[in-house]
Amino acid sequence: MRRVLIAGNWKMNTTRVPAVALAEGIAEKANDFDSLDLAVCPPSCYLDAVGRAIAGSKVGLGAQNMYHEREGAYTGEISAAMLCDLGCRYVILGHSERRHILGETDGAINQKVLAALAAGLTPIVCVGELLAEREAGQTFAVIGRQFDGSLAGLSAEQMSNVVIAYEPVWAIGTGKVATPQQAEEVHLALRKLIEKRYNEGLAKGVRIQYGGSVKPENAAELLKQPDIDGALVGGASLKVDLFLGIAAGAL
Ligand code: PEP
């Protein structure tokens, strides 16, 4: 049985005091969501403060990125071991903003995924097509290429510890949410890719989140699709009531 994961990607937003208040607000009410997994992914400079604010609650801590090397002369980078040291359970990898603004390739994402898994982190690996790619009928080809590239070389056991987030790029931060049917068909296609490479049992166990303009108003419809196992939430994760309103859609 797959547990729903609702994760907030705070991106490069907030400062220390509101970040801690947001984390505390979510942690305070987290017990109302016993059947779900909740996570917050603040900017890396606030991981420590937010980790303290959610300590003892059921809210997991996640980072938004990491580098694949263990340590060394990589100015500005953070390793998987450092994230573990800060209490992280999750790390978002291959977010579309990193792919398209910062030029991250599937190969680079793959190295990060392998390093995250080796350190015991759960990577939330993002895939998703651009609007032009959807309009050109390339959605499934793009998803297949990103799946093959970003998740290359994972053993079955490693794959079982990955969360995939399907985030159509045209739906991120735009207010244009994918319809539940559009999302479901891609989630199902991803599950089939897992089945083809591994087996049906493994495919049934991997969690696949949807992300892209998820709000309390549209969350329940999306989350009741059979292959949608949670949400990766950007803008709406910056307000306690909106984030938990989305989580409520999964109860
Ligand atoms: C995201 O950045 O992962 C995201 C889904 O953003 P938003 O919810 O704001 O569309």
In eight-state DSSP terms, residue 179 is P
- What's the gap in Å between 103 CA and the centre of ligand 1? 18
**What's the domain range around 39?**
5-248
Count of structural domains within the chain: 1
- From ligand 1's centre to the CA of 121, what distance in Å? 22
Catalytic residue among 95, 97, 129, 184: 95
pLDDT of residue 61: 98
Give the active site residue among 97, 129, 167, 184. Answer: 167
Q: Which of 250, 174, 153 has the alpha carbon at shortest distance from 207?
A: 250
Indicate which atom in ligand 1 lies nearest the CA of residue 231. 5
Residue minimizing CA distance to atom 4 of ligand 1: 234
Q: How many CB atoms lie within 10 A of CB 55?
A: 12
95 is catalytic: yes
Low-confidence ranges of the chain (pLDDT < 50): none
- Cβ(125)–Cβ(150) below 8 Å: yes
What is the C-alpha separation between 206 and 99, in angstroms, rounded? 23
For residue 225, the domain's CATH number is: 3.20.20.70
**Residue 115: CB partners within 8 Å, gap ≥ 6?**
66, 67, 68, 69, 70, 79, 80
* Model-wide pTM > 0.85: yes
The per-residue pLDDT for 224 is 97
- CA dist., res. 234 & res. 27, Å (int): 18
Distance, CA 236 to ligand 1 centroid (Å)? 8
pLDDT of 173: 87
At 30-41, the pLDDT tens digits run: 999 999 999 999
CA distance 228 to 187: 7
Give the pLDDT score at 249.
97
CA-closest residue to ligand 1 atom 3 = 234
Q: Where are the beta strands (DSSP E) in 171-217?
A: 207-211
